[in-house]
Structure 1
Amino acid sequence: MGWIPDLPDPRDYTYRHPEILPLLRQLKPPNRQQLADELDLRKGEAGELFLTEVDDQGPLNSSAAFATLSLVEYFERRMYGRTFEGSRRFLYKVARNLRIKSSRITGDTGTDLRTTLKAIRQFGIPDEAYCPYDIDQFDHEPGPFAYQVARSLRHYRYFRIESDWGAEQDSSSRWEVITSFLSAGFPMVFGFSVPSSLSTAADITFRPELDAIGGGQCALAVGYKLNYYGRSQHALLIRSSWGTSWGTDGYGWLPHSYVQHQLAADFWTMLQEDWINAGELSCPSVLANGDECQ
């Protein structure tokens, strides 16, 4: 578990922020105005894998670090053809430090996605080999060497999948924005309320009248399927950090009712300028429908 929902902050960049929207507009036009019935970002058209095997966070509340580093891994592999296995323990610790603004904070508190994304820009991330994921060491401050060898990720710009800060969005428009960014090649980290009925099955249930909330979990949205559970009952394809024994090799389906009822929230993704002309990403259709793409 470990998702702490973001508190409202008017400083957040959204996809319509003046530093983000012009970059999105420069991406190639979408292939189609109508979204496909299903989408899976785990593989490219030639079958190349954009994500490695799903890892297991174990008993720690470190899901924000796992989800965020999966997002980085996706873009590193898709845009540059290289694998970067960043240190989950390092990110979980520095994000907690940053959130409380004190290196003296201890405890397996979990963290929010905003702070976790901010931490990778501020501190960078060392390779897993320099700060391995040892659950017994999770509260140990990384040594100076880990900070020294951390790869700089300041070029990554992170932003919320919302039209504008504080703007009211109904559930259908929220779903439209999420699926349009997925269709454009952008996976996204987010958090959701975990039902007490969660099992190892790939299908997460939505039974609000029966289930209690068992905690909060961060995950990576990597696709969707329309009408997965029946007519107008769509689902997000998500990458967990519960290891390959959960779901289908660590992947599962989250009903879009979670998005509708705001039990899934805090959707974030990334962009940088040198991706504009790579031809891998496209302008999200939610912008194309308003003639805002190039």
Structure 2
Amino acid sequence: MSDIVPEIDLRANFGPARDQGARPTCLAFAASDAHAALLGPWRPLSCEFAFYHAQRRAGRPPSSGAILPAMLQALQHDGQPLESEWPYLGGLPADPGGYGPPTVKQVFRRRGETGSQDYDEIVRRLRTGETPVVLLTISDPFYMPDAAGVVDGVGGDDPVRRHAVVAVGYGRIGAEDAILVRNSWGTDWGLHGHAWLPRSYLAPRITCVAVLTEVADVPAPNIAA
């Protein structure tokens, strides 16, 4: 593997990579971390709060993954408190009726927008200091980046395996450019929770890109429980 030559590296805007465990909460983690990085200095925001409200808005159970439109609505209208106000749950309560947010002191709201499925759109955003949320399908090599932190190789593609990460850097690996992503599988994955995805790997697997924009100071509209 050729040496990695970074051009952009925004990892310093974030804290340690977090771990979603076995729950389908990758989008909540990616959106929460992109949101927290904009607030600075780093204070993690409650993924549980964002996930709960996204599922509620979409009418989806907490046992299934979130969808992007509902997550963006939740961040804009419901916001997020600090992680300490509703820490992430390793598992859901046995009684579904017991799953709900506590009373929180403060929430931070943020608008967001979806972009294209274009790899170069991610690069353009990174060049302006933004850290896009990237939705993609993953294959077997994604689970085990190599010693240099590069996801390399083909095989094991499955369009059902969808994931969300945060783009935090850009560079080159030999003759090919690559994007550095922040994952939510803990610090044991890749480079302390990050990995380089070459253009040839990432570009054909992007399903959507979203960017968080300005602060939203809007009341949450009434929605059915």
For the criterion TM > 0.5, the same-fold answer is: yes
Aligned length: 205
Structure 2 equivalent of residue 62 of structure 1: 25
Among 128, 136, 140, which residue is 1:192 paired with? 136
Structure 1 equivalent of residue 221 of structure 2: none
Whether 1:39 aligns to 2:11 is: no
Shift of 1:39: 1.1
Gaps of 5+ in 2: 216-225
Structure 1 equivalent of residue 47 of structure 2: 88
Structure 2 distance, partners of 1:159, 1:215, is 23
Structure 2 distance, partners of 1:67, 1:143, is 20
Structure 2 distance, partners of 1:185, 1:98, is 30
Structure 2 equivalent of residue 132 of structure 1: 87
Asked if the contact 2:6/2:169 (under 8 Å) is kept, the reply is: no
Shift of 1:83: 3.1
Whether 1:268 aligns to 2:210 is: yes
Shift of 1:221: 0.2
RMSD: 2.4
Deviations 1:150-177 (A, max 9, x none): 4141xx3312233xxxxxx8xxxx3333
Structure 2 equivalent of residue 161 of structure 1: 115
Structure 2 equivalent of residue 289 of structure 1: none
Shift of 1:239: 0.2
Asked if the contact 1:206/1:257 (under 8 Å) is kept, the reply is: no
Greater strand percent: which structure?
2
**What is the TM-score when the length of structure 1 is the normalising length?**
0.63
What amino acid is the match of 2:100?
P
Shift of 1:37: 6.8
C-alpha spacing 1:143/1:220, structure 2 compared with 1 (3 Å): closer
Asked if the contact 1:200/1:245 (under 8 Å) is kept, the reply is: no
Gaps of 5+ in 1: 1-35, 44-49, 163-168, 274-294
Asked if the contact 2:72/2:111 (under 8 Å) is kept, the reply is: no
The structure with the larger Rg is 1
What amino acid is the match of 1:220?
V
What amino acid is the match of 2:112?
Y
Deviations 1:72-124 (A, max 9, x none): 111111xxxx3332111121121111112xxxx53421012232121011111
Identity %: 24
Structure 2 distance, partners of 1:145, 1:251, is 33
**What is the TM-score when the length of structure 2 is the normalising length?**
0.81
Structure 2 distance, partners of 1:176, 1:264, is 11
SS of residue in 2 equivalent to 1:54: coil
C-alpha spacing 1:272/1:106, structure 2 compared with 1 (3 Å): closer
Whether 1:151 aligns to 2:107 is: yes
